[in-house]
């Protein structure tokens, strides 16, 4: 991992430590580098009514928007276990809303193992994005 990924990993691990996952016990942290040069982190927050929980990536995106960022430049996710934890399908679409196809996505397991280095295009091929609805 390069220096940017190392910084994102540090922030994602900090977020993972704050995750609220009493039901699944599956902790996830995410960190986003935004076009404003800032890093925004988020963690998963479960709810007894399962569909009402929030994913780490969605939390990080919300923090980015609240902080003034507009576009995602890079994403890193870290979760329980030793296999790379990738964003769920819904979060892949959420990332796509604010990212170009070539945005790097790094996925890590907190207990080690090889990271997965990919892109939003590889995670969500043939995706539907804002350009289909917005005229420029």
- The set of catalytic residues is 57
Tokens of 28: 């996830």
Tokens of 61: 């995106």
The number of beta carbons lying within 10 Å of the beta carbon of residue 68 is 11
Phi, psi of 117 (to 5 degrees): -105, 115
Tokens of 57: 């990536």
């Amino acid at each position: 991992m390069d220096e940017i990924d190392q910084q994102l990993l540090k922030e994602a691990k900090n977020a993972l430590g704050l995750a609220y996952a009493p039901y699944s016990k599956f902790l996830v942290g995410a960190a986003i580098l935004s076009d404003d040069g800032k890093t925004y982190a988020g963690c998963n927050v479960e709810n007894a009514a399962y569909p009402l929980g929030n994913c780490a990536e969605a939390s990080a995106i919300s923090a980015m928007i609240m902080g003034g960022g507009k576009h995602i430049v890079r994403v890193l996710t870290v979760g329980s276990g030793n296999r790379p934890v990738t964003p769920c399908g819904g979060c892949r679409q959420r990332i796509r809303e604010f990212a170009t196809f070539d945005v790097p996505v790094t996925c890590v397991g907190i207990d080690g193992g090889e990271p997965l280095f990919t892109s939003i295009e590889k995670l969500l091929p043939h995706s539907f994005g804002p350009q289909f609805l917005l005229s420029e």
